[in-house]
């Protein structure tokens, strides 16, 4: 298959986001770059803080610097690499660990 998992593009943090129901800032982001032949994509976990102070995790994917509005599809080895990267981001790590205890 020739797939490689590498370090992802570093995007500015914090940076704004906006939905129809609210807006705020991306305050943490963990991502990896997956490359297969001439195609690459970047699965990411983002910690979003809304203007009202509430926070949520978004699982998403980028193609280069472009945010993709498609669902995140991820293989077990890619998920392991993404979680390894997420472990370097304290607030994302805390939320993931808290949720994983329910499995």
Residue 93 CB burial class (10 angstroms; 0-12, 13-18, ≥19): middle
Q: How many domains does the chain have?
A: 1
pTM over cut 0.85? yes
Query: Of the given ranges (52-56, 68-72, 78-82), which has the lowest mean pLDDT?
Result: 68-72
Q: What is the mean pLDDT of residues 75-100?
A: 95
CB 89 within 8 A of CB 30: yes
48: Cα separation from own chain's centroid: 10
Per-residue pLDDT tens over the stretch 7-61: 888 899 999 999 999 999 999 999 999 999 888 999 999 999 999 999 999 999 9
In this predicted structure, what is the pLDDT of residue 88?
A: 96
22: left (phi over 0), alpha (psi -120 to 50) or beta: left
Please give the residue range of the domain that contains residue 79: 3-100
Phi-psi region at 64: left, alpha or beta (left = phi > 0; alpha = psi -120 to 50) = left
Residue with the larger pLDDT of the pair 61 and 65: 61
């Amino acid at each position: 298959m020739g797939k490689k998992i590498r370090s992802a593009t570093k995007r500015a943090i914090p940076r704004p986001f906006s939905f129809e129901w609210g807006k705020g800032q991306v305050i943490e982001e963990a991502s990896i770059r997956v490359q297969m032949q001439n195609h690459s994509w970047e699965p990411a976990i983002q910690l979003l803080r809304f203007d009202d102070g509430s926070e949520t995790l978004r699982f998403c994917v980028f193609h280069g610097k472009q945010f993709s509005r498609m669902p995140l599809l991820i293989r077990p080895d890619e998920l392991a690499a993404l979680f390894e990267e997420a472990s370097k981001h304290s607030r994302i790590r805390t939320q993931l660990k808290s949720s994983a205890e329910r499995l």
